[in-house]
Amino acid sequence: MSDIATVIETMQKKPLRRDAPPAKTLVYVTPYLPPQGVQAAKSHKIATKRPVFIKAFLHDPTMSRYCKNCGGGGRVVINLIEKGPYRDVPTTQNAITWFDGDGENGKGWYVIERTLSFDCPACVK
């Protein structure tokens, strides 16, 4: 069965096929950044007063062979935000992302100024 089918089954809490294995528990992981990633995020936030989002990923805890920080991709990603939040999808030529909100940043759509990726610090060791 493909990974996407497993994700869909997990989200639906029911198998797509009778012979499907039991649904797996997937968790979102927010990776930690290398020092240059932390510095880039702090610089953007201080200079622009706008948020920086670290991109989380879905992780299957039973797949221990993959890095627990990056999911096996070898990279961690941050989005430097230009504008937002917007209630509706903004009209822009830039990439956008959704954020559910927290105590610091509101819920809504954000326009991404730049996306940066860094070598995963756990894999580099």
Mean pLDDT per block of 10 residues along the chain (125 residues) reads 50 56 74 96 97 90 84 94 96 94 94 97 90
Q: How many CA atoms lie within 13 A of 22 on its CB side?
A: 1
Residue span of the structural domain in which 34 resides: 3-124
What per-residue confidence (pLDDT) applies to 1?
Answer: 44
Number of domains making up the chain: 1
* CA–CA dist 105, 115 (Å, integer): 18
Note the pTM of the prediction, 2 decimals.
Answer: 0.75
Q: Which of 44, 45, 66 is nearest to 57 (CA)?
A: 66
